[in-house]
């Protein structure tokens, strides 16, 4: 069986060359992101949990084609066509280094992802989830400040909601790219220990040369964020983990299709406000 994706230009890459069918069915955990390199920034926890295992496999899904990326240095004169090609190549390099089960490049435009009337991305994600039946999904968090990222999160939630309850993932976590989740109250955080294999983290971020060359040191910033989170997570005691990422639990939204996304996110903001306010009050502020 060869995996057929909907969009012209889409790709389904299996780093170790097993059949598409086997790659889909062995997958236990999926990361779904908007752009090439987001997976390595936000879902390293899942990548490393599966790395080198025979019974756990990470499936990577990139929803957009990467056409709008900024470009500089040797990529300065690249057309959108060339940029899409180089970004797909970089993502496949990461899939190889990280030993992903597969790397799906769905190749949608950003505008397609942000159009609520276009159900194609949701339908295609649902199809991939049905074939892989992952127990856990990593995607963007709902407080991310990039519209396309939030569009992908909504598509993931909707796709999971449409799955029969018995094959829905048990955990769906919204993770950090264009906003840290350090602001959430500690009890709201899904704490993701990213301490192992720091060398691989550097390698996985390092292959995205076209993005780092665009003037942004995502490689250093991402590892710096993980280190800062580990140090500042607990104000008392010594660091247990050296590198942490945080996640927002989206599972309740998946399990209850009636639950409003807006109301759910407001709950996180309200709990943060209550905590800050209570502390100021405790020490006499008003
Ligand atoms: Zn992105």
What is the predicted pLDDT for the residue at 69? 83
What is the predicted pLDDT for the residue at 222? 97
Span from the CA of 180 to the centroid of ligand 1 (angstroms): 14
Span from the CA of 54 to the centroid of ligand 1 (angstroms): 30
Contact 143, 180 (CB under 8 A): no
Q: Which residues contact 45 (CB under 8 A, 6 or more apart)?
A: 138, 192, 193, 194, 245
pTM, rounded to two decimals = 0.96
Span from the CA of 283 to the centroid of ligand 1 (angstroms): 41
Q: Which residues of the chain register pLDDT less than 70?
A: 1, 214, 235-239
What is the predicted pLDDT for the residue at 72? 86
Span from the CA of 255 to the centroid of ligand 1 (angstroms): 26
Q: Specify the DSSP element, H or E, that contains 201.
A: helix 198-206
Alpha helix (H) ranges present in 51-197?
A: 80-97, 110-114, 120-132, 147-162
Span from the CA of 61 to the centroid of ligand 1 (angstroms): 12
Span from the CA of 24 to the centroid of ligand 1 (angstroms): 24
Span from the CA of 210 to the centroid of ligand 1 (angstroms): 14
Pairing of strands 171-175, 102-108: unpaired
Percent of the chain that is helix, strand, coil (3-state, to 5): 45, 15, 40
Span from the CA of 21 to the centroid of ligand 1 (angstroms): 28
What is the predicted pLDDT for the residue at 21? 97
Span from the CA of 154 to the centroid of ligand 1 (angstroms): 15
Q: How many helices (H) and strands (E) does the chain have?
A: 12, 8
Helix axes 80-97 and 198-206, enclosed angle (nearest 10): 160
DSSP 3: P
Span from the CA of 149 to the centroid of ligand 1 (angstroms): 6
Span from the CA of 191 to the centroid of ligand 1 (angstroms): 21
DSSP 188: G
Span from the CA of 34 to the centroid of ligand 1 (angstroms): 5
At residue 175, the 3 state secondary structure works out as strand
What is the predicted pLDDT for the residue at 239? 63
Q: Dump pLDDT digits (tens) for 225-239.
A: 999 999 999 766 666
Span from the CA of 278 to the centroid of ligand 1 (angstroms): 35
What is the predicted pLDDT for the residue at 237? 64
What is the predicted pLDDT for the residue at 213? 85
């Amino acid at each position: 069986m060869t995996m057929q994706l909907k969009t012209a230009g889409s790709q389904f890459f299996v780093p170790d060359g097993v059949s598409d069918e086997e790659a889909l069915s062995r997958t236990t955990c999926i990361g779904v992101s908007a752009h090439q390199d987001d997976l390595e920034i936000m879902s390293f926890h899942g990548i490393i949990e599966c790395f080198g295992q025979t019974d756990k496999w990470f499936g990577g899904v990139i929803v957009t084609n990467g056409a709008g990326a900024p470009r500089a240095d040797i990529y300065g004169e690249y057309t959108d066509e060339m940029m899409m090609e180089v970004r797909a190549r970089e993502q496949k390099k990461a899939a190889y280094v990280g030993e992903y089960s597969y790397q799906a490049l769905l190749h949608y435009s950003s505008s397609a992802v942000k159009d609520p009337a276009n159900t194609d991305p949701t339908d295609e994600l649902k199809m991939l989830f049905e074939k892989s039946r992952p127990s856990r999904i990593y995607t963007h968090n709902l407080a991310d400040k990039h519209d396309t990222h939030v569009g992908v999160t909504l598509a993931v939630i909707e796709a999971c909601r449409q799955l029969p309850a018995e094959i829905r993932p048990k955990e769906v976590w919204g993770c950090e790219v264009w906003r840290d989740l350090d602001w959430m109250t500690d009890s709201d955080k899904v704490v993701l220990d990213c301490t192992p294999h720091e060398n691989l983290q550097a390698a996985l971020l390092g292959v995205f040369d076209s993005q780092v060359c665009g003037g942004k040191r995502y490689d250093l910033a991402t590892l710096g964020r993980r280190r800062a989170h580990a140090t500042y997570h607990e104000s008392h005691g010594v660091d247990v983990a050296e590198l942490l990422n945080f996640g927002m639990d989206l599972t309740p939204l998946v399990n209850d299709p009636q639950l409003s996304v807006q109301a759910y996110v407001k709950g996180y903001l309200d709990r943060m406000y209550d905590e800050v306010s209570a502390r100021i009050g405790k020490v006499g502020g008003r």
